[in-house]
Structure 1
Amino acid sequence: MAKAKKSDAKKLCILAGAGKFPVYLAEFARGKGFQVIAVGPEGRLEPELEARADKVRTYRFARLGQLLEILKEERIEQAMMAGKIDKRWLYQPGVEFDEMALKTLKKLPDQKDDTIMSIVTAELESHGIKILPTLDLIQEWLAPEGSFSAIIPEEKQWQDIKFGFRIAKEIGKLDIGQTIAVLDRAVLAVEAIEGTDLCILRAGQITAGAVIVKVLKPNQSLKYDVPVVGLSTVLSMIQARAKVLAVEAQGCLVVERERMVKLAEQNGIALVGVKGD
């Protein structure tokens, strides 16, 4: 596996999507001595990214040819994908696909996340852009096994965690989503196109006390869509009155860990990393 190291990389490009993950990745990479260029869809990126990356370039969403032009202009040879490319954007008014994007879409047997991302990754790599797994750089962000907050799940909640983990893996196998909300070994909500935070909020519309489980999809490529939780996850749980967040140990990234743990503990939320059976 190719490694992103200072010795063999003058630049590191972050193919950025929505959310805080690209912001923290850019800050971390610069701290490691990389010159960071972030490239993402205009109007979709966190404003903070401007301050954390050395340069930010934007393209119009669904303009794959424009993205490649920018990468060539910046002489990008390797990149990491970080942040959410929200499939709901595909259905918004005014989205215009360029010729390259349309040709790429025609190759798709379906529009599942992994299908889209694998085709896009292959297209970029065919133009000489090596896509590196983010874990090459941020192994220490992986969730540990066991509790990583002072609040420990109760026995009944552990039963929900085990139940939810199995169901989440099956949903992931179908490439539907990575997150599930359960209570009393019943499924309250399943993540689909809307994303983790809205899945959590939907569970909260039904009842308080949910156990949220997020996992790595079986056979998932580590080049894209690695599951991430952070402060926004806990904020959604507070709003939904959920009580446990269980993530796959060594399979899910935890960003803003210190702030996340502090906020969770202040609100009676248990945080735990779990391994499958």
Structure 2
Amino acid sequence: MESTVALFAGEGKLPLEIARRLTDRGVPPVVYALGAVEGSLSRYALDLVALPRLELGQALADLGRRGLTKVILAGVVPKTVMYKPSLMDEGLKRLLQHLPSRDDHSLLGAVVAAIESYGITVLPYRDLIIDLMAAAGPLAGRNPTEEEAADIHYGREVASTVLPLSFGQTVIVSSRAVVAVEAMEGTDATLLRAGGLVRQGVVVKMMRIDQDERYDLPTVGPATLRNMARAGLRCLAVEARRTIILESEAFRRFAEEEEMAVVGIHHCLFS
């Protein structure tokens, strides 16, 4: 990544972390902000272009004018946007209309294909944040109890079954029963919904096995643990080497203070 890259930044802290690390390498990105600008994102941008609507065509045209041929996609763009045509340009509307399925895998894949059709390379960001990727085994706080370990195993099996359908990245399980499964509402809303049903259980977060790792890697952070605590959920299992842990020091400190268990698991085996 020696040359200038563009960063399509959705909501959340991940784009800020990526922009900061690119700047530290001496290659601050041109940032196209698709949502609310997080913190000091502009501080780490060579230039910041605000996109109040999903103006994919405008952004790609601007890339061409700047001679940029590499882009990183990071951050959250709520999927509910697809029900709000006024927030999309005509090209994106046509793209949606021709998709036989609008699940996350198909939708993101189509957007990436549209970007690449302009001769632009979509870069992975994993190597920039390799130190933030979850390892296997205990990650923070205490170890899971036997009951929690059994729920993790069951939750992993449930997630492995539903993830090929492009939903269920987060599954909440209590006593080997599914309490809640994430759809387009996002992880935080799923956690709070589960807390309204059962004030106990484990959270299992994974990604579909064939998901393109250049973008949309699962992300957790202190806010995840805070919402779990609010919902009465005390154990989190994330997929090892495929999950980002943001603000890792604060994350571990919160898990320790609240006596929560956080572990890294494999797709096929609890470890």
Scaled to the shorter chain, the TM-score interval is over 0.9
- Specify the alignment match of 2:134 in structure 1: 143
Counterpart of 2:241?
250
Aligned residue in 1 for 2:30: 37
2:10 matched to 1:17?
yes
2:74 maps to 82
Find the residue that maps to 1:144 and give its secondary structure: coil
Question: Once the two structures are superposed, what CA deviation does each residue of 1:173-193 show, in whole Å capped at 9, x if it has no partner?
Answer: 110131111110111110000
Which amino acid in 1 is paired with 2:112? T
Q: Which residue of 2 aligns with 1:191?
A: 182
Aligned to 2:60: 68
Query: 2:19 corresponds to which letter in structure 1?
Result: A
Which residue pairs with 2:213 in the alignment? 222
Report whether the alignment pairs 1:105 with 2:99: no
CA distance in 1, matches of 2:120, 2:168: 27
User: TM-score under structure 1 normalisation?
Assistant: 0.91
Mapped contact 1:203–1:210 kept (Cα < 8 A): no
Structure 2: gaps spanning 5 or more residues: none
Aligned to 2:173: 182
- Do residues 274 (structure 1) and 265 (structure 2) align? yes
Contact 1:60 1:66 (C-alpha < 8 Å) held by counterparts: no
Equivalent pair of 1:179/1:214 in contact (CA under 8 Å) = yes
**Structure 1 letter corresponding to 2:160:** K
Q: CA contact under 8 A between 1:62 and 1:95: conserved in structure 2?
A: no
Aligned-pair CA distance for 1:96: 4.3
- Contact 2:81-2:87 at 8 Å conserved across structures: no
Aligned residues: 268
Partner deviation per Cα, 1:185-230 (whole Å, 9 max, x = no partner): 1111100001111111111111222201101212111122111111
Matched residue SS, 1:11: coil
| Pairing 1:48–2:24 present | no
Counterpart Cα distance in 2 of 1:53 and 1:262: 30
1:121 aligns with 2:104: no
**Counterpart secondary structure, 2:255:** helix
Distance 1:127 1:117 in 2: 16
* Percent identity over paired residues: 33
CA distance in 2, matches of 1:231, 1:103: 38
Give the deviation of 1:136 after TM superposition: 3.1
**Alpha-carbon contact 2:53-2:89 (below 8 Å) kept:** no
Contact conserved, 1:177 with 1:193, CA < 8 A, in 2?
A: no
Deviations 1:81-137 (A, max 9, x none): 111111112334x72432211222233111111111111101111112100111132
In structure 1, the gaps of 5 or more residues are: none
Q: Considering only aligned residues, what root-mean-square deviation do their CA atoms show, in Å?
A: 1.6
State the distance in 1 between where 2:45 and 2:254 align.
Answer: 27
2:49 counterpart letter in structure 1: R
Q: Which amino acid in the other structure matches residue 13 of structure 1?
A: A
Q: Distance in 2 between matches of 1:90 and 1:55?
A: 28
Q: Counterpart of 1:74 in structure 2: which amino acid?
A: R
Partner of 1:202: 193
In 2, distance between residues paired with 1:154 and 1:129?
48
Q: In 2, Cα distance between the equivalents of 1:266 and 1:55?
A: 40
Q: Is the 8 A contact 1:211 1:242 kept in 2?
A: yes
**Residue 121 of structure 2: aligned partner:** 130
Residue type of the alignment partner of 1:133: P
The one-character-per-residue Cα deviations of 1:56-94 (angstroms, maximum 9, x if unpaired) are: 2122423221121222233221111111111112334x7
Q: Aligned with 1:207: secondary structure?
A: coil
Q: After TM superposition, give the deviation of residue 52 of structure 1 in Å.
A: 3.3
Matched letter for residue 173 of structure 1 = P
